[in-house]
Structure 1
Amino acid sequence: MSIPYLESPALKTASTIRHGFFGRRGGHSVGEFASLNVSFSVGDSEPMVRRNRADVAGALGFAPEALMVMRQVHSSRVVRLEGLSPDIGTIEADGMVTRVPGVLLGILTADCAPVLLADAEAGVIGAFHAGWRGAVDGVAQRTVEAMVQAGATAQRIVAAIGPTISQRNYEVGPDFARDLLGRHPDAAHRISRPDGGRDHFDLPGFVFDRLLEAGVGRVHDLGECTYAQPRRYFSHRFATHGQARTGRQIAVIGLS
């Protein structure tokens, strides 16, 4: 059975780049993790997760061992991969870049923003995980900087923002807006207060702004909300509201 995934038109034009934003369908896990959970740290069966990861890599024409998934910690740290790294799962970072064909960069999310990037002409790709903390601390800018150091040109970079919790469903605490605007005064338009209630944060919109600020030439937001589509995507916030556990989906990009 083929695994469904989304592609960004912005990234799809380059024949040397393979990418996909996977959801929760098409895998082997059961129960709360049904069915394409790719995280080992949520309580799912390890053999099931390994099968799911192998199927994701295979769907894009890569070997299972090509899939590189780091230990994401809501930071702005970015690593550059010079080849396959067997210990990648122990490396604490939230962004990766490479110019090595055959390496598949993977980002796990369940409401945070997965972002895939490429300068096809230079043969440099990147991927990062952006929760609010990493986004505010500059993970987008640091990933672009790492790509430029690897040979990319910022203006040629194309970025795609995958399934993420939307502003409508992302309520934040009373101090969030004050702290955000203290560091990013230009982000006021990414905070709203529906019906005069509590503040809501536009995470994908904020990431979009940071990418443009970093000089990225084109940014495409798929516009998919994880919280609003619990049958299609894992959503940590939706599961928490239902007092349940949930898995993680994956976004991947590689050079063929």
Structure 2
Amino acid sequence: MTTINPHLETAPMLLPTVPPPFPLRWGFWIAALHAGWRGAVGGILRRAVALYQDLGGAPRDLVWAFGPCIQPCHFEVGPEVVDAARSDAAWHEGLAHPGPKDRPHLDLHGLLRAQALDLGLDPGRDGSLPRCTFCEPEQLFSYRRGDLDGRQWGWAELPNP
């Protein structure tokens, strides 16, 4: 979801993957993205930054953040997920490690951050919250933990000029 309208606030409901805010802001533009592993591997961040560049923006000017999501301590995936993630230009082997059941665990935050840096986003403008939705039941909803009725929301808006 993107907008150039300062009167349109975005408040998407989130799943426990990497939710907004992804406030990719440059004066008149903001984007709120939702990326699980499929979105990350599928290039959602790369497409958003390309759209921003098409509007005349430079990636280094973006203010950006990744919200809480399941962290690698609990994000068990199949080997096919790691294989798909390895196809990304920003991949490095530190983004996956074997879990306690010999199944890989993926660092989704790390993969998206690596993509952001690969795209030229300034690490000094990163406001990410690397909190684990699985580890913090008192604060964060996680469907993977068995929560069926919780929700998380993100909020992003452009200030009035």
* 1:85-234 equivalences in 2 (<5 Å): 96-115=1-20, 116-120=22-26, 122-181=27-86, 183-184=87-88, 186-195=91-100, 197-217=102-122, 218-234=125-141
Which digits, 9 at most, give the CA deviation of each residue in 1:145-168, with x for residues without a partner? 122223432110011111111110
Q: Which shifted more, 221-230 or 144-153?
A: 144-153
- Does the 8 A contact of 2:41 with 2:84 survive in 1? no
Length-normalised TM-score, structure 1: 0.56
Q: Secondary structure at 2:92's aligned position in 1?
A: helix
Gaps of 5+ in 1: 1-95
- Does the 8 A contact of 1:211 with 1:219 survive in 2? no
Letter in 2 for 1:157: L
- Cα drift, residue 194 of structure 1: 3.8
Letter in 2 for 1:167: P
Tell me the matched-pair count.
155
- Cα drift, residue 196 of structure 1: 7.2
Q: How many percent identity over aligned positions? A: 30
Which digits, 9 at most, give the CA deviation of each residue in 1:49-108, with x for residues without a partner? xxxxxxxxxxxxxxxxxxxxxxxxxxxxxxxxxxxxxxxxxxxxxxx2222111112333
| Paired position in structure 1 for 2:152 | 249
Q: Secondary structure at 1:159's aligned position in 2?
A: coil
Residues 206/125 of structure 1: CA separation in 2 closer, same or farther (3 Å cut): same
Give distance in 1, aligned partners of 2:129 and 2:31: 17
- Cα drift, residue 124 of structure 1: 1.5
User: How much is the aligned-residue C-alpha RMSD, in angstroms?
Assistant: 1.9
Greater RCO structure (CA 8 Å; 6+ sep): 2
Which digits, 9 at most, give the CA deviation of each residue in 1:218-239, with x for residues without a partner? 3232111111112211111011
Length-normalised TM-score, structure 2: 0.85
- Does the 8 A contact of 1:114 with 1:130 survive in 2? yes
Residues 98/152 of structure 1: CA separation in 2 closer, same or farther (3 Å cut): farther
Give distance in 2, aligned partners of 1:237 and 1:159: 26
Gaps of 5+ in 2: none
Give distance in 2, aligned partners of 1:188 and 1:107: 32
Q: Secondary structure at 1:105's aligned position in 2?
A: coil
The structure with the larger Rg is 1
Residues 158/140 of structure 1: CA separation in 2 closer, same or farther (3 Å cut): same
Letter in 1 for 2:23: L
